[in-house]
Amino acid sequence: MITPILSRRDLLKTGGALVVGFAFDAALPRWTWAQTPAAGGHAGKPLDPSEVDSFLAIHPDGTVTLYSGKVDVGTGLRIAVAQMAAEELGIQAERITVVDGDTGVCPDQGGTGGSTGLTRGGVEVRQAAATARQALLALGATRLGRPAAELTIVDGEVRPLAGGAGVGVGTLIGDRRFSLKVDSKAPIREPARYGVVGKPLPRPDMPDKCTGHHVYVHDFTLPGMLHARVIRPAAIGAKLVSVDDSSVRGIPGVRVVRLENFLAVVASDEWAAVSAARALKATWTEWQGLQGSDGLERWTRAAALDRDQAVVNRGDALAALGGGAKRLSATYFWPFQSHASLGPSCAVADVRGDGSATIWSASQGTHGLRSNLSKVFGLSPDKVRVVFLDGSGSYGTNGGDHAAADAVLLSKTLGQPVRVQWMRQDETGWDPKGPQQLLDVQAALDANGRIVAWDTQMWLPAQAPGGRALLAADAAGLPQDHGQGAGLLTQNGDPPYQADNVRVLVHWVKDTPLQLSNLRAPGKVANVFAVESFTDELAAAARVDPVAFRLGRLTDQRAIDVLNRAAQTFGWQPRPSPSPQARQGRMLVGRGIAYVRYKQTENYVAMAMEVAVDPASGRIDVRRVACAHDCGLIVNPDALKNQIEGSIVQTISRTLHEEVTFDRSRVTSVDWASYPILRFPEAPQVDVVLIDRPDQPLLGAGEAATAPVAAALANAIFDATGVRLRTVPFTLQRMKAALSAGSTA
Amino acid sequence: MATYSFRLNGRSVSADSWDAAQPLLYVLRNQFALHGVKFGCGLGQCGACTVLMDGRAVRSCTTPMSLAAGRAITTIEGLGTAQKPDRVQAAFIAEQAAQCGYCTSGMIMASAAFLTQTPKPTRDQVKQGLAGNLCRCGTHTRILRAVLRASRA
């Protein structure tokens, strides 16, 4: 029953040279696409991001298909990109369909991360649409016998500005190629005249998501497809010694696949695969290569360093620290956290004998995944297609790329399409993690409360270059990169306030206990927790209201505006913290504020929060949040609010509850009991105020509101209790311990 | 291989399973292509797989076929369609109460069962009523609004 172990050479061997042409029809329900391979007319469409046709096609009926390299991971990207294109094309957004993340038909616009979905993805599509608009006006000019300058496009029709008969864009170009380079100088519509951008259009995915018909990668099936479950070792670095295949003999139709240390079961019946994965007896070697998550802060401080790097160095912070009237210092710690996607990762792969392969995945970077899979599994990239299908929210790189690698390895080995669905313990245990962060901050105030010196030292994992190692490839003994990328971790380590001498020094730690990846607002989430908590400590030391303290050290009007709007929406009463009248019954109630300019160059966000702390239990209840958010030009205010609300609630969860735990061998937080997240009874009231700046460039919104949450919460707790929490998560035990210690924890 | 008969979204159906312990979830998804039922944990911890059994919300990932036999099962697909959503679905759509949407089916089914028990809930009652359903995207405030909206519909 066990498939013989294959050699690495066998695995890397590619098949014949026949290239199977791909066909695609965006109008078909995606899960039936594979059953109708002959349909569609997009084969051979250009993919080069310098070509208009790479981004859009206008059909004879006047409908439009947009091809976006950036994907919609529940963020509303599809409607926002459609609105941006609709505005330029003069075609209703409802007539536009977005195909996203299919490497066979979508241009490579980089991975969907760092809040670049609209800032790069949408803007590139908009420029292609603006170029197409000029071409449509020129075609209309010929057809209507009038100069293009006297024409406009309204409701999908090129019409004379002065009125009179027009001609539909579908008639002018319908399914023919523009064959034009994207013109970076093609004029963009004036924001003052926007009719579609800025409207809260409903998301097109919503009706199907609310009726059970939206197709996720988990729902995709192929004829002859096998269901697989991968059995991960009991310890991260363990080797497979033996497998007892008799342990699954009673389960119908199961095959055990072993490739060196890669172990999986497959069956045509999914429950048989699940049952076999549970029943299979395998022996692994002992491995205890981890130091454990207890004492991780101490380990991090003492860890061997790759190098030090001053990422900000203005004036002489160290010298100035000694010269202030008041000097403060504090240490903050953020633990490893999991993406903890609600649906465990899933992928379907169909690797053919001719060396072609199609992979269906919810990856946030399908083009990058295609390169990595091709390289690792010895496939020719031009024969590999990764098709994006929606997944469970990923908030960065969750287990999805690993699941895709599992599926490719199994399909290649078995010569059949394979669907790999991770189980709960796989996703929470084996997704690459957001790293731990340790920060020491010190500052000095002069007699007038001026910040004369600020020094942040941060311990961060050194990010080894190269692709992220795929679990399946390591287990099967395939050579690959072992990069450790976790995003831009160092930003927002310096205060956004006037300060005379500032240094941010990064201690790059050589090793990381767990595999890393980008997790929403990577680095910034903890840096802003430290910087904005510490700012509050300075304000308290100066006996100044926390909002006034910040406003007094800001000159940028957009920063001042968000702080004022957040305070006003919240109903902020100016006074220093802690509150002199915190007690309400048995609860201690307080409020906190935090501000960020995301990455110091992007969104302005200010957030006020009210919390109630039960000193008896240590329970922290976030009652309400008021957030003012300025991301420049707003494309879709409702989809934007949804993102901001989600960032806030999710980060309250991360701050109150979330910590990846591990022992010497493995991650031990593997389900919703051992890795708890926020539940409904804890859901706060959230008021989001959007500040629209149509004259300013648009900025991404998937992450910025994440950054100030933990500090606003910590500052509110300090206001309520006089006690400051500097280690995340703020568990009941930690809160109680801090209260009984009476000062700080 | 045993055969299990039950009612599914108003129709009489039967399904074969080699294992009486097979959770209803896999039968609904793989034999009836009712993909609105989502696998989240297989442990009854998250609620993504919630369906109605004789009108009560149950976790289909931990409900064995032997227990489902003879019962009336309703999935998200049995409530309404995109063109004709039921009142809970319509309220979720109106409030745009989803992000990734992976928890949404279970959330709507749990809400439907909750509203049957508590037709005119307060916001706090809804919060308690949905305590067993997890949303990772943080869409809680919209979901609460949607359930309250449905209760007024």
Rounded to the nearest integer, the mean pLDDT of chain A is: 93
Task: Judge whether residue A588 has pLDDT over 50.
Answer: yes
Instruction: Mutation target for A interface from B102, B107, B148: give the one with most A CBs within 10 A.
Output: B102
Selection from A644, A702, A636, A631 nearest residue A86 by Cα: A636
pLDDT (average), residues A259-288: 98
Report residue A7's pLDDT band, with 50, 70 and 90 as the boundaries: very low
The confidence score (pLDDT) of residue A23 equals: 31
The confidence score (pLDDT) of residue A324 equals: 78
CB-CB: which of A340, A343, A642 is closest to B48?
A: A343
Span of A161-165, A463-467, A651-655, A675-679 with lowest mean pLDDT: A463-467
Task: Give the closest-approach CA distance of A347 to chain B in angstroms.
Answer: 14
Report residue A36's pLDDT band, with 50, 70 and 90 as the boundaries: very low
Q: What is the pLDDT of residues B99-113, one digit of tens each?
A: 999 999 999 999 999
The confidence score (pLDDT) of residue A35 equals: 32
A74 Cβ contact list (under 8 Å, min separation 6)? A390, A393, B98, B99, B100, B101, B137
The confidence score (pLDDT) of residue A638 equals: 98
Give the integer Cα–Cα distance in Å for A195 and A389: 31
Partners of A344 on chain B (C-beta within 8 Å) are: 39-40
Give the integer Cα–Cα distance in Å for B92 and B149: 9
Contact B134 A677 (CB under 8 A): yes
Task: Judge whether residue A263 has pLDDT over 60.
Answer: yes
Give the integer Cα–Cα distance in Å for B93 and B107: 13
Selection from A466, A464, A469 nearest residue A508 by Cα: A464
Q: Which residues, numbered 660 to 689 in chain A, qualify as contacts with chain B under a Cβ-Cβ cut-off of 8 Å?
A: 671-673, 677-681, 683-686
CB-CB: which of A74, A206, A671 is closest to B137?
A: A74
Contact B98 A390 (CB under 8 A): no
A153 Cβ contact list (under 8 Å, min separation 6)? A89, A90, A91, A133, A136, A137, A140, A159, A169
Q: What is the pLDDT of residues A356-371, one digit of tens each?
A: 999 999 999 999 999 9
Instruction: Mutation target for A interface from B16, B17, B130, B141: give the one with most A CBs within 10 A.
Output: B141
Cross-strand partners of A119: none
The confidence score (pLDDT) of residue A44 equals: 78
Contact B22 A271 (CB under 8 A): yes
Q: Which two tokens stand for residue A175?
A: 């399914």
Partners of B127 on chain A (C-beta within 8 Å) are: 680-681, 683
What single letter denotes the amino acid at residue A447?
A
A638 touches chain B (CB under 8 A): yes
Q: Which two tokens stand for residue A42?
A: 């997009």
- Tally of residues, chain B: 153
Q: Which CATH class is domain A519-741?
A: alpha beta
Place of tokens 């999805």: A400
Q: Domain A45-198 adopts which CATH fold? A: Aldehyde Oxidoreductase; domain 4 (3.30.365)
Same fold, A45-198 and A217-286+340-430: yes
Contact B93 A210 (CB under 8 A): yes
Give the integer Cα–Cα distance in Å for B4 and B19: 11
Bond prior to A574 in cis (omega within 30° of 0): no
Q: Domain segments of chain A: what residues? A: 45-198, 217-286+340-430, 519-741
Domains, chain B, ordered by start: 2-78 (3.10.20.30), 87-152 (1.10.150.120)
User: The dihedral of CA A567, A570, A574, A578: what is its sign?
Assistant: negative
Task: Judge whether residue A13 has pLDDT over 50.
Answer: no
Partners of A211 on chain B (C-beta within 8 Å) are: 36, 76-77, 79-82, 85, 89
Torsion angle in degrees (nearest 10) through CA of A732, A661, B127, A341: 160
Q: What is the pLDDT of residues B132-153, one digit of tens each?
A: 999 999 999 999 999 999 999 9
Q: Decide if B28 contacts B34 (C-beta within 8 A).
A: yes
Task: Give the closest-approach CA distance of B53 to chain A in angstroms.
Answer: 17
Place of tokens 């609460």: B144
Report residue A214's pLDDT band, with 50, 70 and 90 as the boundaries: very high
Q: What is the pLDDT of residues A99-150, one digit of tens each?
A: 999 999 999 999 998 888 899 999 999 999 999 999 999 999 999 999 999 9
A29 touches chain B (CB under 8 A): no
Cross-strand partners of A307: A508
Q: Which residues, numbered 422 to 461 in chain A, qualify as contacts with chain B under a Cβ-Cβ cut-off of 8 Å?
A: 423-424
**H, E, C per residue of A442-481:** EEEECCCCCEEEEEEEEEEECCCCCCECCHHHHHHCCCCC
Partners of B143 on chain A (C-beta within 8 Å) are: 680
Q: Which residue is closest to B94 within chain A, CA to CA?
A: A202
The confidence score (pLDDT) of residue A34 equals: 36
Task: Give the closest-approach CA distance of A624 to chain B in angstroms.
Answer: 11
Pairing of strands A151-154, A326-334: unpaired
The confidence score (pLDDT) of residue A463 equals: 86
CB-CB: which of A203, A344, A679 is closest to B96?
A: A203
A307 Cβ contact list (under 8 Å, min separation 6)? A462, A508
Q: Which two tokens stand for residue A213?
A: 């018909």
Report residue A323's pLDDT band, with 50, 70 and 90 as the boundaries: confident
Pairing of strands A326-334, A305-314: unpaired
The confidence score (pLDDT) of residue A43 equals: 63
Contact B85 A270 (CB under 8 A): no
Q: Decide if A231 contacts A263 (C-beta within 8 A).
A: yes
Give the integer Cα–Cα distance in Å for A455 and A59: 58
CB-CB: which of A213, A645, A673 is closest to B141?
A: A645
CB-CB: which of A342, A648, A681 is closest to B136?
A: A342
Selection from A125, A461, A486 nearest residue A339 by Cα: A486
Give the integer Cα–Cα distance in Å for A408 and A418: 8
A271 touches chain B (CB under 8 A): yes
Report residue A33's pLDDT band, with 50, 70 and 90 as the boundaries: very low
Counted across chains A and B, CB pairs separated by less than 8 A come out at 184
For helices A400-414 and A366-377, give the axis angle rounded to 10 degrees: 40
Task: Give the closest-approach CA distance of A683 to chain B in angstroms.
Answer: 6
pLDDT (average), residues B73-83: 97
Q: What is the pLDDT of residues A456-513, one digit of tens each?
A: 999 999 988 888 999 999 999 999 999 989 999 999 999 999 999 999 999 999 999 9
pLDDT (average), residues A325-337: 97
Q: What is the pLDDT of residues B9-45, one digit of tens each?
A: 999 999 999 999 999 999 999 999 999 999 999 999 9
Q: Which two tokens stand for residue A317?
A: 């912070």
pLDDT (average), residues A233-245: 97
Q: Which residue is closest to A201 within chain B, CA to CA?
A: B96
Q: Which residue is closest to A670 within chain B, CA to CA?
A: B41
Task: Judge whether residue A18 has pLDDT over 50.
Answer: no
- Please tell me which residue, A53 or B1, carries the higher pLDDT value: A53
- Please tell me which residue, A517 or A175, carries the higher pLDDT value: A517
Report residue A743's pLDDT band, with 50, 70 and 90 as the boundaries: low
What are residue A101's phi and psi, to 5 degrees?
70, 15
Instruction: Mutation target for A interface from B9, B99, B128: give the one with most A CBs within 10 A.
Output: B99
Give the integer Cα–Cα distance in Å for A436 and A336: 5
pLDDT (average), residues A585-604: 98
Selection from B69, B68, B62, B89 nearest residue B78 by Cα: B89
Q: Domain A217-286+340-430 adopts which CATH fold? A: Aldehyde Oxidoreductase; domain 4 (3.30.365)
pLDDT (average), residues A294-319: 97
Rounded to the nearest integer, the mean pLDDT of chain B is: 98
Q: Which residues, numbered 203 to 222 in chain A, qualify as contacts with chain B under a Cβ-Cβ cut-off of 8 Å?
A: 203, 205-216, 218-219
Contact A210 B92 (CB under 8 A): yes
What single letter denotes the amino acid at residue A271?
W
Q: What is the pLDDT of residues A57-81, one digit of tens each?
A: 999 999 999 999 999 999 999 999 9
The confidence score (pLDDT) of residue A15 equals: 32
The confidence score (pLDDT) of residue A417 equals: 98
